[in-house]
Structure 1
């Protein structure tokens, strides 16, 4: 069985939900406190044992490459001023080999993954989506890698969502549950409201065997008129089993405005330096809102 050493991070989306902020800045570079969202994803990959990353970018995404490059002048200034803790954080972002390829047309997630096929070759690989930050004692991706090593089969990360939100996700229809592991009958991309076979949603973490490229090669369009990764996984599942794993950890949705704001607040409350002033500020805001309603 081959070891998982490569991972793909798709980062070619237009970020329309965050316009005008993302007109010139990639949405992946929007910060949660003091770290861009994509840094959380890369950190998870590093902590899971990934050795080579390929980030699939698009037009206007140069800031991502700059962030993960060495910044010699900045590092020298931090060293000169003996800001060693901050220096370590800055250097952390350039501690792994990262490669880049451009998705020339916004044809969907499946197409973005297909763009990385030559980099992956005939190896099993990981996929991490940037809209989902997962906080867990053991990295989410590492959990999936361990099950891949046990099952020797493709596996996707899932968690339950509210029934009213199933139309926003890829959903699994399963035939067998083995603890947190599920044998999947069918993967369905964004089912229409009221038709989802379960509330178990795919949450942006995958371990895939290279055969998935054979199905992505067909370039068939699905939901939203785009080439969907979920559809290719389902076609692969019809040939060889693909499993789903309900991973341990808290998942934060940073792909839309409300989730991004709530995630920022929650991360601030988990920060020893920020927790007290943030709580104080929130109390003042709530008090002002209460007074306005009285008036």
Structure 2
């Protein structure tokens, strides 16, 4: 079992980040000096992924343009001797083999993943949600890939969340296998505290076997009237092996303003150019409060 492909669902309407996302895809919002989706693609590449499919919609052609060559700009940068900027612009286009497919109707995450069937074929594949940025020493996707390959199983990335927060996530029913790795026997989408299986919630990263596609084709609309990936995963884990990886790292939900600002500040503090200035700026502001 070798994971070489990844799918990034990025067809959502971005309603949590309006009005900025009325014309700019939320995945293209700049976080420090790169768009959000570039961090996600870099994580996939660092995890050994070779081919990436981005599931988009008709309003998100900016992503296609961004990960392409821009001869006029590159020529101007070259003529101006701006070698660093030229390398950064060309490097974004050369990150990976990137493909696109449109989700023509907004029918949920499960429906978006189903659009990747021809791209995936009969191989296992990773899924990285377009809202979730992970900050970790070892890429979170790689942590899942290693567990999936070791156990010959699908894998979901999980972390513990507070009981009062579980209704925003999918809760998993688990049994321990080894440190930070569990077997999964059931799950449910956005449960109440009374309905939850555990405080472990699925957070934005998956490695799935192609069996999921047949399941998603017959899944009925669930929570919110949409085809929920969790409903498909629930059947998958009940019919084949699935593990949950309590991944090491920090997850940021950049699909909402608070999460976006948290991620921006944390990544900016580590940026070699912006970090020293930002530390001084924040200390000055904090002293004024």
TM-score by length of structure 2 reads: 0.95
Checking the alignment, whether the CA contact within 8 Å between 2:172 and 2:187 is kept in structure 1 is yes
Aligned match of 2:18:
19
2:64 is the counterpart of 1:87: no
Alpha-carbon distance in 1 for matches of 2:145, 2:81 = 39
Aligned match of 1:34:
33
Tell which deviates more after alignment, 162-171 or 189-198.
Answer: 189-198
Alpha-carbon distance in 2 for matches of 1:144, 1:87 = 34
Alpha-carbon distance in 2 for matches of 1:100, 1:239 = 30
Alpha-carbon distance, 1:132 to partner: 1.2
- Per-residue CA deviation, residues 251-272 of structure 1 (Å, 9 max, x unaligned), is 2221211111111111111123
- Equivalences for 1:238-253 in 2 at 5 Å? 238-253=238-253
- Per-residue CA deviation, residues 4-59 of structure 1 (Å, 9 max, x unaligned), is 11111000000001111011110000011010000001111111111111110012
Alpha-carbon distance in 1 for matches of 2:188, 2:259 = 23
Alpha-carbon distance in 2 for matches of 1:142, 1:176 = 20
**Deviating 4+ runs (over 4 angstroms):** none
Checking the alignment, whether the CA contact within 8 Å between 2:6 and 2:128 is kept in structure 1 is yes
Helix, strand or coil at the partner of 1:204: strand
Alpha-carbon distance in 2 for matches of 1:85, 1:194 = 55
TM-score by length of structure 1 reads: 0.93
Alpha-carbon distance in 1 for matches of 2:279, 2:162 = 28
Aligned match of 1:97:
97
- Equivalences for 1:1-295 in 2 at 5 Å? 1=1, 3-95=2-94, 96-288=96-288, 290=289
Q: Any gaps of 5 or more consecutive residues in structure 1? A: 291-295
Alpha-carbon distance in 1 for matches of 2:273, 2:119 = 42
Checking the alignment, whether the CA contact within 8 Å between 1:54 and 1:98 is kept in structure 2 is yes
Checking the alignment, whether the CA contact within 8 Å between 2:252 and 2:263 is kept in structure 1 is yes
Alpha-carbon distance in 2 for matches of 1:276, 1:266 = 12
Number of residue pairs matched?
288
Please tell me the root mean square deviation across aligned C-alpha atoms, in Å.
Answer: 1.5
Tell which deviates more after alignment, 7-16 or 77-86.
Answer: 77-86
Alpha-carbon distance, 1:209 to partner: 0.4
Alpha-carbon distance in 2 for matches of 1:90, 1:194 = 50
Checking the alignment, whether the CA contact within 8 Å between 2:170 and 2:190 is kept in structure 1 is yes
Alpha-carbon distance in 2 for matches of 1:16, 1:80 = 41
Checking the alignment, whether the CA contact within 8 Å between 2:219 and 2:231 is kept in structure 1 is no
